[in-house]
Amino acid sequence: MTANKNDTSNATNGIKIIKKKKGKTKVESGIKYESTVKKITGDKVSGDKGSGSKNNDSKAEDSKGIKIKETLSKSLEYIKKIYSIPINGDIVIREFNVIVKDKSIDAFAVFIDGMSDRKVINEAILKPLMLLSSLDIKSDEKDIGNYIKVHLLPQTQIKVVKSYEEVIKEVNFGGCGVFVDGLDIAFVADVKGWQHRGVERPNTELVIRGPQEGFTEVLRVNTALVRKSIRDENLIVEDITVGRRSKTACSILYIKDIANDSLINEIRRRLKNIKVDYIIDSGELEQYLEDNTFLSAPQIIDTERPDRVALHLSEGKAAILMNGTPFALIMPANLSELLKSPEDMYMRYPYANFLRIIRVLGILITLLLPGLYIAIINFHHEMIPTDLMLAIEASREKVPFPSFVELLIMEISFELIREAGIRVPGPIGPTLGIIGALILGQAAVAAN
């Protein structure tokens, strides 16, 4: 009890008590006692509130980032330091005055040139704040921050943030941040305006009958394409950020009353547990999400067709869309789904099933034929007709390699031709593939 009384008297006299490790306590005079001090016994001691507590500021910075200062000059200095101005040439800072109730207040806006729409910034942010603020607007609003948000910012997507980290996050993604002198908050507007590819036909999943729309590299365009196919209020688009430095925007799509909650929770958990600096493409993200990275068989379906995503969502599955890539990830995947083509849903049932059987036979031939050839040629000669066996032996007289090495060289040659056809410039690629096929065919004919 004596210790508690001493602590109370210290708090009254404006002495700040800071607990250190190993039970040691240091006393700093001249600093106001701001926060509630909790003793080991559980007793609480309250003191006067001030604005200079380093302990509170450090805790706030660790949890929510550095709080925005009310002094505009400090905010301007901090933004210039973070963005390395004037070294950075594409960071735009526009200083101006806002007249609120016959009072001129300094302010500035910050955005990235090329990522934000200048026209929207001029018409929906700068013009109202610089020109319309001088008009006589009848309002009983006493809070200046709320007055500016309600009466002077007609932009549709305005957020009020309280830390520099939140402002920088939005500005880096094409937003515009507005700081006003005397306010410990900032206004952030969504004014994205970078150039991007329009909605075009899918490059890898072409169909004769069916929609001819494919995903783009813009996340919101892709989510809109899915919502256009599924006009259901239960369709959830849950946003999440991946990558500590890249801060890549992703969205988890699922239908709330159809998808399994445990599936969505597991996807959400795996996304939040990704601790890397940069993630640029969905192919890299897929490897972080799947169960076994070294398994050659695909465990997640990737597609660039919105109609295919909509179909799987209606079956209770989930999809992940990622900003910067036109491919969506659908999970979970099974063998039957991997054998389906995007065009199967637009065909008659018997014909679609026949094509799936053909695909299964093709997979079996691809997997088993090389090993079957080696087994018959080397160990089971009795399975080969006599005339064919004589022709094979005659053709192999001048080959210095065993059949296994010969088959391996042929497989590598096919892969090299395929890779060269993809990587070389566009006009040469198809020609190279045709020439490679002719060479291999001629070699096969010459070998009888």
Q: Enter the tokens of residue 325.
A: 């890539």
Q: How many CB atoms lie within 10 A of CB 349?
A: 8
pLDDT for 448 equals: 54
Is residue 33 predicted with pLDDT exceeding 70? no
Give me the residue label for tokens 């109370």: 8
Name, of 62-66, 75-79, 128-132, the range with top average pLDDT.
75-79
3-state secondary structure the chain: CHHHHHHHHHHHCCCEEEECHHHCEEEECCCCCCCCEECCCCCEECCCCCCCCHHHHHHHHHHHCCECCCCHHHHHHHHHHHCCCCCCCCEEEEEEEEECCCCEEEEEEEEEECCECHHHHHHHHHHHHHCHHHCCCCCCCCCHHHHHHHHHCCCCCEEEECEHHHHHHHHHCCEEEEEECCCCCEEEEECECCCCCCCCCCCCCCCCCCCCCCCCCCHHHHHHHHHHHCCCCCEEEEEEEECCCCCEEEEEEEECCCCCHHHHHHHHHHHHCCCCCCCCCHHHHHHHHCCCCCCCCCCCEEECCHHHHHHHHHCCCEEEEECCCCCEEEECCCHHHHCCCCCHHHCCHHHHHHHHHHHHHHHHHHHHHHHHHHHHHHHCHHHCCHHHHHHHHHHCCCCCCCHHHHHHHHHHHHHHHHHHHHHCCCCCHHHHHHHHHHHHHHHHHHCC
Burial class (CB in 10 A: 0-12, 13-18, 19+), 67: middle
Q: What is the percent of the chain with per-residue pLDDT over 70, rounded to a whole number? A: 81
Q: What are phi and psi of 88, to 5 degrees?
A: -70, 120
Burial class (CB in 10 A: 0-12, 13-18, 19+), 95: exposed
pLDDT for 20 equals: 37
Is residue 19 predicted with pLDDT exceeding 60? no
Q: How far apart are CA 287 and CA 276, in angstroms?
A: 13
Burial class (CB in 10 A: 0-12, 13-18, 19+), 325: buried
Give the angle subtended at the CA of 340 by the CAs of 308 and 323, to the nearest 5°.
Answer: 35
pLDDT for 140 equals: 62
Query: Is the Cβ–Cβ distance between 65 and 165 less than 8 Å?
Result: yes
Helix axes 164-172, 72-82, angle to 10 degrees: 50
- The per-residue pLDDT for range 127-180, each reduced to its tens digit, is 888 887 666 555 666 778 888 888 888 877 889 999 999 999 999 999 999 999
Looking at residue 443, its amino acid is: A
Q: Enter the tokens of residue 335.
A: 């063998």
Q: What are phi and psi of 70, to 5 degrees?
A: -70, -30
pLDDT for 26 equals: 37
Statement: the pTM of the whole predicted model exceeds 0.75: no
Q: How far apart are CA 46 and CA 123, in angstroms?
A: 49
Residue with more model confidence, 208 or 20 = 208
Name, of 7-11, 321-325, 338-342, the range with top average pLDDT.
321-325
Work out the mean pLDDT of the chain and round it to a whole number. 80
Q: How far apart are CA 182 and CA 201, in angstroms?
A: 52
Mean pLDDT of 422-432: 73
Q: How far apart are CA 75 and CA 64, in angstroms?
A: 17
- The per-residue pLDDT for range 343-379, each reduced to its tens digit, is 888 888 888 889 999 999 999 998 899 889 889 888 8
pLDDT grade for 49, boundaries at 50, 70 and 90 = very low
- Give the CA distances from residue 264 to residues 229, 325, 327, 336, 447, in Å, rounded to whole numbers and listed in that order: 21, 22, 19, 22, 57
Is residue 7 predicted with pLDDT exceeding 70? no
Q: How many CB atoms lie within 10 A of CB 374?
A: 16
Is residue 442 predicted with pLDDT exceeding 60? yes
- The per-residue pLDDT for range 281-335, each reduced to its tens digit, is 898 999 999 988 888 888 899 999 999 999 999 999 999 999 999 999 999 988 8
Q: How many CB atoms lie within 10 A of CB 189?
A: 23
